[in-house]
């Protein structure tokens, strides 16, 4: 049974380890370990109001997880969150869990009055959940992008006006090699 829930706090090491296993399976052991470290860092260093995490679980087993962290645009009053990373346990992939987690997370962001979601990834996959390619003229990324075609966004309100000025991510993402 798929049980989507708020909050990543009570799952402890199971979450970083699921991310490690998912990325190791698709991109190799080193990438798996790097993502485990990133997720650990995100959980332990991000202020509470700047991080939202949602978990898909079957009993005590983590099937998938998604994080959203704040991107601050000092010159714009809107609340913007970065959706990253997301992963599904390798033996559960391609069963719809990833898209359900994204939809569940975005709906919860809406309820928390978040205005805009950005992400950085495969445009074809994220288009399935409403993301479109955006330019940095529309919304500046926090770091120089090595793959600008992967910069994606979607409005969570009726407004789709460009977001003003430079941006800042949370410290776990404040590393140029991640972008
Ligand atoms: C990417 C990921 C989160 C998708 O979750 P999922 O539960 O497997 O995906 P869903 O079942 O919700 O969606 C499946 C559909 O999305 C598409 N899709 C899935 N993974 C894809 C990928 N890596 N690239 C492009 N399209 C993809 C497929 O079209 C698929 O449809 P199909 O089965 O009819 O072909 C998961 O595969 C994963 O954890 N991968 C390793 C970690 C990763 O790359 N995370 C994303 C970067 S942060």
Given a cut of 70, whether residue 98 has pLDDT beyond it is yes
Give the distance between the most distant pair of CA atoms in the chain: 45
Atom number in ligand 1 closest to CA 26: 41
Q: At what angle do helices 29-45 and 14-27 cross, to 10 degrees?
A: 150
Looking at residue 12, its pLDDT comes to 84
Q: Is 0.75 topped by the overall pTM?
A: yes
Looking at residue 165, its pLDDT comes to 94
Looking at residue 6, its pLDDT comes to 67
Question: Is the CB of 28 within 6 Å of ligand 1?
Answer: no
Q: What percent of the chain has pLDDT over 70?
A: 97
Looking at residue 2, its pLDDT comes to 65
What is the 87 CA–ligand 1 centroid distance (Å)?
8
Looking at residue 126, its pLDDT comes to 97
- Give the tens place of pLDDT for each residue, 22-60: 999 999 999 999 999 999 999 999 999 999 999 999 988
Q: 3-state DSSP call for residue 104?
A: helix
For 105-157, the DSSP string reads: HHHHHHHTT--EEEEES-HHHHHTTT-EE--TTTS--SS--S-GGGEEEEESS
Instruction: Quote the tokens at residue 161.
Output: 């006006």
Q: Which of 125, 126, 130 to mutate to test the pocket of ligand 1 (most atoms within 8 A of CB)?
A: 125
Dihedral sign, Cα of residue 20, residue 87, residue 172, residue 41: negative
The span from the CA of 159 to the CA of 105, in Å, is 20
Atom number in ligand 1 closest to CA 102: 12
Question: Is the CB of 85 within 6 Å of ligand 1?
Answer: yes
What is the 93 CA–ligand 1 centroid distance (Å)?
7
What is the 95 CA–ligand 1 centroid distance (Å)?
9
Given a cut of 90, whether residue 169 has pLDDT beyond it is yes
Q: Which of 98, 102, 150 to mutate to test the pocket of ligand 1 (most atoms within 8 A of CB)?
A: 98
Question: Is the CB of 88 within 6 Å of ligand 1?
Answer: yes
Q: Where are the alpha helices (DSSP H) in 28-96?
A: 29-45
Options 3.30.70.260, 3.40.640.10, 3.40.630.30, 3.40.50.720; CATH of 3-178? 3.40.630.30
Q: Average pLDDT, stretch 16-22?
A: 97
Instruction: Locate the domains of the chain by residue range.
Output: 3-178
């Amino acid at each position: 049974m798929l049980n989507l829930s708020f909050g990543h706090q009570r799952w402890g090491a199971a979450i970083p380890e699921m991310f490690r296993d998912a990325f190791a399976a698709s991109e190799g052991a080193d990438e798996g370990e790097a993502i485990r470290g990133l997720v650990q860092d995100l959980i332990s260093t991000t202020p509470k109001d700047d991080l939202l995490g949602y978990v898909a679980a079957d009993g005590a087993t983590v099937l998938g997880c998604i994080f959203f962290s704040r991107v601050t645009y000092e010159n714009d009053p809107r609340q913007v969150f970065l959706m990253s990373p997301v992963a599904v346990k390798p033996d559960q992939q391609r069963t719809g869990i990833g898209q359900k987690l994204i939809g569940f997370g975005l709906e919860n962001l809406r309820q928390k009055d978040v205005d805009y979601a950005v992400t950085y990834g495969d445009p074809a996959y994220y288009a399935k959940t409403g993301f479109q390619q955006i330019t940095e003229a529309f919304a500046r990324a926090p770091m120089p992008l090595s793959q600008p075609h992967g910069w994606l966004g979607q409005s969570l309100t009726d407004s789709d006006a460009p977001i003003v000025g430079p941006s800042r991510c949370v410290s776990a993402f404040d590393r140029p090699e991640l972008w």
